[in-house]
Amino acid sequence: MAKAHSEVVRVTPAALTSRLQRLTGAGKAAKTHTYFLLAGPIGSYVITSARFPEPVQEAYLRLLQACGDLWQKVLEGGEVDALEQRVVEAVCLVELRLSVNEMDIKLHNLLHLVDSIKNIAGQHAHDA
């Protein structure tokens, strides 16, 4: 993964990669904000370039997709339930396929984000 990360840093303007370098440098543990930073094409490239075993790669990619989904600015009514399902599945897959010792991340906080979105969406719907 370090080689793929280095390649992303090499081809991306420094203003965009300085945070990525700080968050994912040698000796740094994975944290929730790292996954949000990587949620998108850069993260997908880094993960697929790292050539993890397929089950591990799938877990990482599903987690990145869930983080990216949480960043959406607008969700329609039924989409919130689908978002919750995707986040739950991603968290379960990560917990199943990745070692707890390798992760310094509180994945259950992603579920709290979905709960907050559901609460806000419910309040907004009543205000309309």
So what's the pLDDT on residue 6? 65
pLDDT of residue 100: 72
Say if CB 49 and CB 7 are below 8 A apart: yes
- pLDDT value, residue 112: 87
Q: Are 33 and 19 in contact (CB under 8 A)?
A: no
pLDDT means per 10 residues in the chain (128 residues)?
62 60 59 67 78 88 86 75 91 85 71 85 52
pLDDT at residue 126, rounded to an integer:
45
Q: What one-character DSSP code corresponds to residue 28?
A: P
pLDDT of the residue at 88: 93
